[in-house]
């Protein structure tokens, strides 16, 4: 809410504002389906000179070092938006797919990360539901086509 960013979601999704910290400049909103088969985090924060490409590089390379079993499935970066799709085994032994999109806001030095987390067997349904969520009036998770994500996973 600090940056004038709007997020709209279907009425059947639960939401929680996890963080809205004016001192750090970080906002985090979590959306979940009723059955908790996925979560969608929307995180806004000061870019401090970082770019979309920097965010994509972090998620594609440095983040993967955290997991023993990690696969970078898709990666693309532009000036205003970029994304990655990754799959890994988490600490609890779960097979996880994340579709992460990073947006630059042209009016301020702010980056917005959208992090969709689900399991491979819920991915197709999750992508359909998540595409009903809008960021500043536009659908999220558009860097890759649904078929492209499903084929990669």
> CB–CB of 101/82 below 8 Å?
yes
pTM, entire model: 0.91
CA distance 105 to 27: 14
**pLDDT digit string (tens) for the chain, length 153 residues:** 567 788 999 888 888 877 888 888 888 889 998 888 899 999 999 888 899 999 999 999 888 888 889 999 999 999 899 999 999 999 999 999 999 999 998 777 889 999 999 999 999 999 998 888 999 899 999 999 999 999 999
DSSP secondary structure of 83-114? EEEEEEE-TTS-EEEEEEEEEEETTTTEEEEE
């Amino acid at each position: 809410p600090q940056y004038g960013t709007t997020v709209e979601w279907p009425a059947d999704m639960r939401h929680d504002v996890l963080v809205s910290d004016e001192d750090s400049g970080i906002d985090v909103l979590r959306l979940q389906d009723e059955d908790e088969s996925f979560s969608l985090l929307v995180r806004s924060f000061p870019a401090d000179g970082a770019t979309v490409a920097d965010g994509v590089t972090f998620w594609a390379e440095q983040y993967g070092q955290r997991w023993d079993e990690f696969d970078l499935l898709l990666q693309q970066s532009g000036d205003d938006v970029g994304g990655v799709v990754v799959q890994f085994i988490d600490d609890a032994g779960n097979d996880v797919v994340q579709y992460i999109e990073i947006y630059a806001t042209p009016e301020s030095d702010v980056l917005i990360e959208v992090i969709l987390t689900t399991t491979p067997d819920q991915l197709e349904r999750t992508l359909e539901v998540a595409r009903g969520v809008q960021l500043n009036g536009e659908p999220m998770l558009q860097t890759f086509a649904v078929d492209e994500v499903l084929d990669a996973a």
